Amino acid sequence: MSYAKGLDGASSWLRQLLELTPLTVHPLCRLKPQHDLKPSLDQSWDWRATDNDPQFMLTRGLPLPGWQMLEVAMDHDQPQVSVRLYLDTGNGFSEEESVFLPLKSGRITKRLFHVKKPLKAIRFDPMEDAGYFTLLHLRFAWLSPWFAHDRLSSRLANMHYQWREKGKSQVLPELKRIAHEQGRHWRELALEQYDATFERYAPRLNYRQWLKNRDQLSREDAQQLLARLSEQPLISVLVPVYNPSPDWLRECLDSVREQFYPHWQLCIADDASSDSGVKAVLEEYDNSDSRIEVVYRSDNGHICAASNSALALVNGEFVVLLDHDDCLSPDALLRVAEVLNHAPDAGLLYSDEDKLGEDGERFDPHFKPQWNPDLLLAQNYISHLGVYRTTLVHEAGGFREGYEGSQDHDLVLRVSARLEDHQIVHIPHVLYHWRAIAGSTAQNSAEKNYTSQAGMKAVRDFLEHHAPEATVDHGHYPNTYRVHWPLPKPLPMVSLLVPTRDRVEILQPCVDAILERTDYPNFELLILDNGSVCRETLDYMSQVEQRDPRVRVLHWNHPFNYSAINNFGASQARGEMLALVNNDIEPIHSDWLCEMVSQAARPEIGCVGAKLYYPNDTVQHGGVILGIGGVAGHAHKYFTRNAFGYFTRLHLAHNLSAVTAACLVVRKAIFDEVGGLDAQHLTVAFNDVDFCLRVREAGYRNLWTPYAELYHHESVSRGADDSSHKRARAQKEVEYMRRVWGEKLDSDPAYNPNLTLVHEDFSLR
């Protein structure tokens, strides 16, 4: 954006003049490759980053001091790309004077920055990994202070949690007041908060900085917490051992001995290790502390047999699983005991985790949701730290031989089946550090193919006992699985509700695609006409209704109210299931409705959502995350179609609090049970989120599936909220959602409190 475009009412000659002045800088042709960059031999791309630190240099035509807008667009071969701009004002390049910008795929991405004094040079880092790319657009535009302040205030009011309840006009005065109290320049504080709205998930770099900013539990604080715990159960830590590095084994065992919580037992089973150094370490630790017990197996029986040998030593009420080269955080067992004091009937607990490099660096944190049974069938997301009530482990039969490599997935499936949902508790702290070494599953899950086979065997066994008609296949990635749920017999009729008004060029591709690319045989398509006057649209609706007996056109001649239109359609529907479908939806594969119906037919499932793409094959909808932007946002928005997503979640069916009504399937009985969509308070936005939350409150699990894929030309027929009336309506709907669901919007059980409520990409908060 140029300065000229920020001048309301400026004359055209002034706009043209400013566009030609040095206030707007296009440096693309003046960038000089500096490091880790080569011209690409592949004609699809201009450049190849040869390593993880590619750099361009710019020394001429530099931006002027003051407020600037950075604009970047780039094609690349990465799931995600972030660029960084380093500003040399005379002291060289540093992180302190740099600008970070995560790019949105397929579009120009912009952000403000401030140049304190004349620049000597700029370094532009286009990527953070090796790969191929083409820079399509790079521009710096000087902004007037008032325009920059307006943009700054708008972004903070819209995207920073601290200003969620404030209007744009309140932001700068309040910032200046706070900065004055802190003895700082207000711009420094404002830019600090503005930068926070661009934070992104970059495991090694950002997580390291994130850890530095976290308050760690001190030993003194831990003692005070321990004194407040009325119940202090004995917790037994199981460690099966087979030929680990003696140094890493020491680190593992020391992480137990250094626990803040004193009531532990360490149960070690050596599985006939051939390394004499391992036995020496075990004997040393066995003799050092009465809480440590070691059993030496005469024959190597692999991890399940060794774990059962360790289990035989257990005296504790709970068992914790620890691999022989991994580490517990010092507060791990104390956090477990703390939760047990609040949830005394818990039978299964699990925490967040990260990885531990050979250099001791912590990286790649996995911040997990609360109990998510469908995600567990797709992936062992519970993993480490896993804590089990000892009696339940015995009831389940301990560790089963034949499931080596995914023995913990097998165990958690069998134990969780014996518990109510509230007895499975997530602890939102990183309590486990998983050693990532060459050849380990932590480093690369593809390293051990047998783990995927064992995991699928565990899921198949679970299904045979609890859902015998369901089957399971391998997922798209190692150690992920797809469950195929059976369609009901006989097949229920599905009523597809498609609200529309005019715009035949939008409606016709949608309806024709559904009729042509839906292999589910028993459905009706109800076109809910909201007062169309376009003759071509009316003719098309008449023709398609006559041509295809599955189509009915129903007229609803009232002011636009998305909730009311769909409620009307539901009242006229003949189907046992309802599919809410926008008029700008196009199926990609013909099995989309089969997949959604098979999920929605499960007694425990409420709303089922699909994976929706923009026409440029970036993700529009990967499910709804509560709290983002104040109410809710779309998970993984703008990720590329084949991107992994957060721990491959873009390719896994899993439970979410809400899904979008742009393509939603639900049983009609549930729709009626909760009273349909809220036509009184939510006429346009958030009616689907509110509906899903009421379905969840009624006791059903909502679910998102990546196996129903459709294109969504989002809101193209209704238009944007660009009038004062529409903005006022939108604000009222936000206020209503906050009033009704406020606290629940800020603590989504399908998300994690350590992850952002600003962006839709699972970056760190």
Write the CATH number for 235. 3.90.550.10
pLDDT at 7 over 50: no
216 by Cβ neighbours in 10 Å (0-12 / 13-18 / 19+) ranks as exposed
Report whether 249 contacts 279 (CB < 8 A). no
Asked whether residue 60 is assigned to any structural domain, the reply reads: yes
pLDDT at 16 over 50: no
Type of residue found at 747: S
pLDDT of 722: 53
Asked whether the whole model's pTM tops 0.85, one would answer no
pLDDT of 17: 36
Give yes or no: residues 449 and 522 share one domain. no
pLDDT of 273: 96
Write the CATH number for 129. 2.60.120.260
Give yes or no: residues 509 and 575 share one domain. yes
In the structure, what pLDDT confidence band is assigned to residue 208 with cuts at 50, 70 and 90? confident
Which residue, 143, 169, 192, sits at the end of a domain? 143
Task: Return the SS3 of 475.
Answer: coil
Q: In 642-709, where does DSSP find H-type helix?
A: 668-673, 687-697
Residue 407, both tokens: 């023995």
Report whether 378 contacts 478 (CB < 8 A). no
Which residue, 143, 159, 182, sits at the end of a domain? 143
pLDDT of 641: 78
Give yes or no: residues 416 and 556 share one domain. no
Asked whether residue 699 is assigned to any structural domain, the reply reads: yes
pLDDT of 11: 39
DSSP E strands in 591-679: the ranges are 605-613, 619-621, 624-626, 632-634, 654-655, 663-667
Give yes or no: residues 112 and 20 share one domain. yes
3-state SS of 554-587? Answer: EECCCCCCHHHHHHHHHHHCCCCEEEEECCCEEE
Asked whether residue 192 is assigned to any structural domain, the reply reads: no
Report whether 461 contacts 384 (CB < 8 A). no
Percent share of the chain, pLDDT over 90: 73
- pLDDT tens-digit series, residues 633-644: 999 998 877 778
Type of residue found at 49: A
Question: What's the number of domains the chain is made of?
Answer: 3
| Rounded-to-integer distance, Cα 200 and Cα 161, Å | 16
Percent share of the chain, pLDDT over 70: 92
Asked whether residue 298 is assigned to any structural domain, the reply reads: yes
Give yes or no: residues 410 and 446 share one domain. yes
Give yes or no: residues 466 and 498 share one domain. no
Pairing status of strand 605-613 against strand 663-667: antiparallel
- Average pLDDT over the chain, rounded to an integer: 89
Give yes or no: residues 444 and 536 share one domain. no
In the structure, what pLDDT confidence band is assigned to residue 723 with cuts at 50, 70 and 90? low
382 by Cβ neighbours in 10 Å (0-12 / 13-18 / 19+) ranks as buried
Report whether 294 contacts 270 (CB < 8 A). yes
Neighbour tally for 239: CB within 10 Å: 27
3-state SS of 379-417? Answer: CCCCCCCEEEEHHHHHHCCCCCCCCCCCHHHHHHHHHHC
Higher pLDDT, 91 or 727: 91
Asked whether residue 760 is assigned to any structural domain, the reply reads: no
Its domain, for residue 383, covers: 219-474
Give the least confident one: 118-122, 369-373, 689-693, 695-699: 118-122
Asked whether residue 756 is assigned to any structural domain, the reply reads: no
Give yes or no: residues 466 and 352 share one domain. yes
Residue 552, both tokens: 């009915």
Give yes or no: residues 466 and 499 share one domain. no
Q: Which residue has the tokens 């391998």?
A: 474
| Rounded-to-integer distance, Cα 229 and Cα 309, Å | 31
pLDDT of 719: 45
- pLDDT tens-digit series, residues 178-197: 999 999 999 998 888 888 77
Higher pLDDT, 172 or 199: 172
Give yes or no: residues 89 and 10 share one domain. yes
Which residue, 92, 111, 143, sits at the end of a domain? 143
What is the mean pLDDT of the segment spanning 50-64?
A: 90
Give yes or no: residues 264 and 381 share one domain. yes
DSSP E strands in 442-514: the ranges are 471-474, 481-484, 494-500
Closest CA to 60 of 32, 93, 100, 95: 32
pLDDT at 19 over 60: no
What separation in angstroms does the CA of 12 have from each of 15, 139, 178, 351, 546?
A: 5, 22, 40, 60, 53
Asked whether residue 462 is assigned to any structural domain, the reply reads: yes
What is the mean pLDDT of the segment spanning 428-445?
A: 74
Report whether 474 contacts 558 (CB < 8 A). no
DSSP sequence for 659-676 = --TTEEEEEHHHHHHTTS
| Rounded-to-integer distance, Cα 392 and Cα 110, Å | 54
Asked whether residue 185 is assigned to any structural domain, the reply reads: no
pLDDT at 679 over 80: yes
Give yes or no: residues 402 and 499 share one domain. no
Tell me which H or E stretch contains 102.
Answer: strand 98-102
